[in-house]
Amino acid sequence: MTSPSAVFERPRVRMKPKSDARAIRRGFPWVYANDIVTDRRTRALMPGALAVLEDENRTPLGLVAVNPESKILCRMLDRDPEAAIDRDWFAARLARALEMRSRLFDAPFYRLVHAEADGLPGVVIDRFGDVCVIQPNAAWAEAHLDDLAAALAEVTGARCILKNAGGRTRALEGLDDVSGVLLGSAPEAPVPVPMNGATYMADLTGGQKTGLYFDQRDNHAFAARLAKGARVLDVFSHVGGFALAALAAGAESALAVDGSAPALALAEAGAEATGVAGKFAIRQGDAFEVLAALAEENARFDLVICDPPAFAPSKAALDAGLRAYERIARLAAPLVAEGGYLGLCSCSHAADIARFREASLRGIGRAGRWPQLLHTGFAGADHPQLPQLAESGYLKAVFFRL
């Protein structure tokens, strides 16, 4: 805790009259620029500066991180306006996050911090054994990165901590894209990650995101339940996602499709490590083109899963994104054998589950197939949702029998 005099010295930012301070009191973690009185003093604050947020009556609402360069001008850090954002503060948040993951998982491979939902706005931390990868996607986190990394090492015992600066929102915060090593030495080889009976190879320094998508773990497991004895097609496979989980569960064969040659090389290494290389094949190319080509080849699969990138990363891209999801479903459905299964995924927070499901059904219908909806899945429990923030529940998956 800081002293009252120190708190008094902190800058203050005030919400405009008629702005919804009630939403902040109920747990919404952001205040947009058009809800803040942006006077000369507010505009002069450095990105990542700490300030006391006040309502229109100058009643303190909590301690926020401010970035005048961002549409999200304030991010709530602590309901206590006197909180000291130091190593101990970070350690307390990280310990709370770790306690839950330790209950959920037998091995230390998971998302340790899921941004706002774990009380660290804009911060993502994925754990790969004794290596942790931080994505500081907000200016305040970048400014406090030394304390965050020190607390992370203290709480987890990590011997290596990497900074990944590839997050899309960093540019919106005015941050650079320079990654680096914060502690120890970066792994010289891909890190093997056990998950759902398979072994995935994660490139923590040159791969996509932090190296692996932990969020699909539960959806991989559901798909694996459908996979015994099945011919499997995994589109947008990355490092083998659904394909390796299916093979570990007894699939007859799996074909992984992706546009990235390095990702498919890691998928092949994962198949080898899992002991299923003889049943695993890859095909590099544009997913839409490969799906069309497979249809021309009269290829059929018992289980088809498509897990594309975010086609609708913002509200402005929603309509185009929904058309893309519909097209994926239309191209994938004909490849499913009679009585087989189709899994479709979306990581676009702008496309809620209802709209995504409707787009998927339109595509299946246009392909002339009749679907039964079997299962709706979301991100695993190491990606908790903040109920007040729809963006924290971005991932959804729908599984059909055709």
Active site residues: 347
Kind plus residue range of the DSSP H or E element containing 327: helix 318-332
Give phi and psi for 322, each to the nearest 5.
-65, -35
Separation of alpha carbons 205 and 179, rounded Å: 8
CB of 11 closer than 8 Å to CB of 51: yes
C-beta of residue 345 within 8 angstroms of C-beta of residue 374: no
Q: Is 236 left (phi over 0), alpha (psi -120 to 50) or beta?
A: left
Backbone angle region of 226, left / alpha / beta, with phi > 0 → left and psi within -120 to 50 → alpha: alpha
Q: What is the DSSP string of 89-156?
A: HHHHHHHHHHHHHHHH-SSSEEEEEEGGGGT-TTEEEEEETTEEEEEE-SHHHHHTHHHHHHHHHHHH
- Within 184-333, strands assigned E span 191-195, 198-202, 231-235, 253-258, 280-284, 301-306
Cα separations (Å) of 224 from 231, 242, 254? 12, 8, 12
Say if residues 221 and 241 touch (Cβ distance below 8 Å). no
Long-range contacts of 82-89 (CB under 8 A, 24+ apart): 82/1, 82/2, 82/4, 82/7, 83/1, 83/2, 84/1, 84/2, 85/50, 85/144, 85/147, 86/147, 87/147, 87/150, 87/151, 87/154, 88/151
Cross-sheet strand order for the sheet of 160-163: 109-114, 123-128, 131-136, 160-163, 180-183
- The alpha carbon dihedral of 213, 217, 223, 225 has a sign of positive
**Strand ranges in 325-378 using DSSP code E only, listed in sequence order:** 336-346, 372-378
Strand partners, 49: 66
